[in-house]
Amino acid sequence: MSLEKSLEARSNGACELCQSTSALRIYEVPPTSDRTLEDSIFICEKCESQLTKKESLDASHWNVLTSSMWSEHAPVQVVCWRMLQRLRNETWAADALDMLYLDDEKLAWAKATGDHEESGEVAFHVDTNGTLLQTGDTVVLTKTLDVKGSSLSVRAGTVVKNIRLVSDNVEQIEGRVDSQQIVILTKYVRKG
């Protein structure tokens, strides 16, 4: 039987975290990558996008962890522990963590990614209006900017095409203006 069919049977055709039945997919629980029933879970698109930090956490969506955490399957328990850690500032999540017991092997697996040490907040590159920016987007400057280290002054209204996101700083993007690569603060641009 294929992994997908096995996971579907194990989960009764529902997300193993939130019980949703739409857009289900296999999620391999990091850092293992054997793609087996023992290291994978069946989850919905919404759970996956929040789990992989492609979307901000919606604490109300994760209230179901208080029942999902009691799953008999180790990968489900590990993911529940990780998500509860990210939501630990919520009273219900802290209470659930106090009740959840993982043996030493599962706890080591749960801590292996280091995700539990970070806050649950996920930051994205957004423009001055809060619109999500992505690599390759075109933006328009909303303020005249002087470029540090050069005599270049870039006027408000200048179009910057094919931007790149600065990976370690969500407040900065890179773009080419007058054949010069510059760093621009996201608070001074709007998506074009």
Q: Which domains does the chain have, with CATH numbers?
A: 3-117 (no CATH), 139-191 (2.30.30.40)
> What are residue 172's DSSP bridge partners?
185
Helices (H), the chain: 3-11, 45-51, 65-68, 74-86, 91-99, 104-111
Amino acid at 164: R
Please give the pLDDT value at position 116. Answer: 66
Amino acid at 138: T
For residue 122, pLDDT beyond 80: no
For residue 11, pLDDT beyond 70: yes
- Residue 79 corresponds to which tokens in the numbers above? 């993911």
> pLDDT per residue over 65-102, tens digit each?
999 999 999 999 999 999 999 999 999 999 999 999 99
Lowest mean pLDDT among 17-21, 90-94, 129-133, 186-190: 129-133
pLDDT > 90: what percent of the chain?
Answer: 66
User: What predicted TM-score, i.e. pTM, was given to this entire model?
Assistant: 0.68
d(CA 23, CA 178): 45
Instruction: Tell me the mean pLDDT in the region 129-152.
Output: 88
pLDDT > 70: what percent of the chain?
Answer: 96
Please give the pLDDT value at position 114. Answer: 79
Please give the pLDDT value at position 56. Answer: 82
The one-character DSSP state at 155 is: P
For residue 180, pLDDT beyond 70: yes
> What are residue 174's DSSP bridge partners?
164, 183
- Residue 114 corresponds to which tokens in the numbers above? 């280091």
Q: Are 79 and 51 in contact (CB under 8 A)?
A: yes
Please give the pLDDT value at position 119. Answer: 59
- Give the chain's mean pLDDT: 90
Q: Are 51 and 115 in contact (CB under 8 A)?
A: no
The one-character DSSP state at 151 is: S
Q: Judge if the upstream peptide bond of residue 31 is cis by omega within 30 degrees of 0.
A: yes
More confident site: 76 or 118: 76
- The residue to which tokens 């709007």 are assigned: 190
Max avg pLDDT among 71-85, 118-132, 149-163, 177-191: 71-85
